[in-house]
């Protein structure tokens, strides 16, 4: 029971920091303004790790890798901790186990990215109905719009109602199912 409690706390802290790092990456990549409550929260929570890494890790094609690298490493460390704390006997050499842990860490980052997008799309849709002038609405819209625009080109609004968020949410659920299957095939202990 103590192991379960420790893993839950570690998962919550690591997931919060990973999602915040991913949010910083996507806000910079999509050129969403950091001059709002969300941007201030993201920078204050991640500056301690991102700013020193910028001296070492270069950007790549507009992507701030100093936000992505620690997100992947955090998830890989969490996966390694889960394997170690659960005492799972794995008969792999350390190099191969390390590669699997890193691969599962990358999958976890992708999974959290999908969940982040689900939350952003859902919150953006709700705010567009309830409080379109909310200070956080432009940031959420800026993050969701690049993913909604291609769907809006295929599926037009019906009676002035945009169905693209529903279609995107359905597609993202399918992506989560695929990620779950790949994750289980790589490291069944993560169930």
- Spatial contact of 169 and 118, defined as CB atoms under 8 Å apart: yes
* Residue 146 C-alpha from the chain's centroid: 16
List, for residues 1-26, the tens digit of each pLDDT value.
Answer: 888 899 999 999 999 999 999 999 99
At 41, the pLDDT band (50, 70, 90 cuts) reads: very high
List, for residues 67-107, the tens digit of each pLDDT value.
Answer: 999 999 999 999 889 888 877 666 767 788 888 889 989 99
Work out the mean pLDDT of the chain and round it to a whole number: 91
Helix intervals (H) in 86-158: 94-130, 137-154
pLDDT over 80 (residue 60): yes
At 191, the pLDDT band (50, 70, 90 cuts) reads: very low
pTM: 0.90
Inter-CA distances, 151 with 8, 159, 160, 170, Å: 36, 17, 15, 12
pLDDT over 70 (residue 188): no
> What are the domain boundaries of the chain?
2-190
Position 97 scores a pLDDT of 80
Tokens of 64: 């701030």
């Amino acid at each position: 029971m103590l192991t379960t409690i420790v893993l839950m706390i570690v998962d919550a802290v690591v997931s919060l920091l990973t999602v915040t790092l991913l949010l910083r990456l996507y806000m910079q990549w999509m050129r969403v303004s950091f001059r709002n409550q969300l941007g201030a929260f993201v920078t204050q929570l991640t500056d301690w790790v991102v700013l020193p890494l910028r001296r070492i890790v270069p950007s790549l094609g507009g992507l701030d890798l100093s936000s992505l690298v620690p997100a992947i490493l955090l998830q890989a460390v969490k996966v390694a901790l889960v394997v170690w704390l659960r005492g799972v006997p794995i008969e792999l050499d350390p190099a191969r186990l390390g590669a699997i842990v890193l691969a599962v860490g990358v999958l976890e980052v992708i999974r959290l990215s999908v969940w982040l997008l689900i939350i952003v799309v859902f919150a953006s849709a709700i705010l567009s109905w309830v409080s379109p002038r909310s200070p956080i609405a432009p940031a959420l819209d800026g993050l969701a719009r690049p993913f909604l625009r291609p769907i809006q080109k295929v599926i037009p609004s019906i009676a002035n109602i945009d169905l693209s968020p529903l279609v995107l949410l359905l597609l993202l659920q399918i992506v989560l199912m695929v990620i779950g299957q790949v994750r289980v095939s790589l490291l069944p202990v993560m169930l």
